[in-house]
Amino acid sequence: MSDDMLSLCRKYDAVSAAATSFRQSEYFFPAPGGNCYSRNAFSQMFQQCWKAANPGIHNLPRVRVYDLRHRFASAVLNRWTDEKRDLYAMLPYLRAYMGHYDLSATEHYIHLLTDNLVKSSGVFWAAMESIIPEVEKMSKIADETLFKLIHDFLVIYLPTQRNSSPNTIRAYKTSLEMLLDFIKEYNQTSLSKVTFRMLDRKAVSAFLTYLEAEKRCCISTRNHRLKCIKAFLKYAAMVEPSTVIYQAELSKIPLKKEIASPSVEYMSENAVSILLKEPDTSQKLGIRSQFFMILAYDTGARVQELVDLRLRDIRLGKTPTAILSGKGGKVRSVPLMKATVQHLSRYLSVFHHQENMLSDRPLFLYDQTRRSTASVLRWNPQMDETVWPLRKRKVQ
């Protein structure tokens, strides 16, 4: 975002925050009362501004808010033309900025340019230069089929045809992202140069070894990543027959046998009490770890359900509750005990001081900006040392 635009946003935010009715809104553009504006409302406001900018003119041509997007794209292409740049070489930059997946959608703007616009003097090129942020240099994609299939698998097949939950889709996406990052380094190439041919048995086997040796993933995680990769290859073979050979090669990689480890069948109240006292609550991380376990104990929620909690999911009314989103998109409301609410207040004062409880911000943070992951919150050496003696026997 350019400096002048950032300054305008900050000025607007200060004015909006000063309005009493807007203070508790989670939206950047709140309507009166704090809710969000509808598309029609913004369209009407835009039409009013358009008429006010052209007083005394009858039969004004109708414009849309969306026309600003067209204007932006045309202005950028005009500037690149003035600079005698190859538009087709520059299109990936514009595509990344505008959020187009298909390059043909960005190419459409080239056909809208006319000769009298190519040397337009009405475009302030210096300002336009500061608007477009730096993006990773993109080269031509070597295997468009691979990335198109990945997109369709994650965006169309899983959510639409399989009706998979967001968490399931996230798991597949994470596995494929980790694989592509590894293949990129394994072959000493850029992401755009990764092809189906690189996803051979040797490379994927090396990736699985990397997960265990360097990422310190357990066998079950290693097997899960492999299942996600195989699921994608199965989909690819179904859609694009030419990829069947790659699916057949990876099908030879077996799942690794897991070593059974002792587990706690159940815990007594005394065991839970010892566990909850283990974190060092004089430290921020200890406060987070303790409250996470307290909330898990009070709600009976899955780890992923707790990780997915947002501030807006905590209702501190007459009957405090937490709104949990479970498997299959099922939502349930769980009441919170008085003691849990007290620990919640302490946790919020440390990690979310004076934040709006209607915010979409994650409840559990890895640091000040990133959401915690289930794996981070599951593993803690100190807790493991505490639980291990309890694994040797059933606690009566």
Q: Which residues of 316-340 are buried (b: 16+ CB within 10 A; e: fewer)?
A: eeeebbbebbeeeeeeeeeebeeeb
Check residue 227 and give its pLDDT: 95
pTM here?
Answer: 0.48
Residue 208's CB is within 10 A of a number of other CB atoms, namely: 20
Instruction: Locate 172 and state its tokens.
Output: 């597949």
Mean pLDDT of successive 10-residue segments in the chain (396 residues)? 80 72 67 73 81 77 76 79 72 78 65 48 46 55 90 92 87 93 92 91 94 90 94 94 92 86 70 85 88 90 88 88 84 91 91 84 69 47 42 34
**Helix 219-239 vs helix 166-186: angle between axes, to the nearest 10 degrees?**
90
Query: In terms of C-beta density within 10 A (0-12 exposed, 13-18 middle, 19 or more buried), how is residue 353 classed?
Result: exposed
Torsion region of 320: left, alpha or beta (phi above 0 gives left; psi -120 to 50 gives alpha): beta
User: Pseudo-torsion of CA 235, 237, 242, 243, nearest 10°?
Assistant: 80
Check residue 75 and give its pLDDT: 80
Check residue 139 and give its pLDDT: 61
Check residue 375 and give its pLDDT: 44
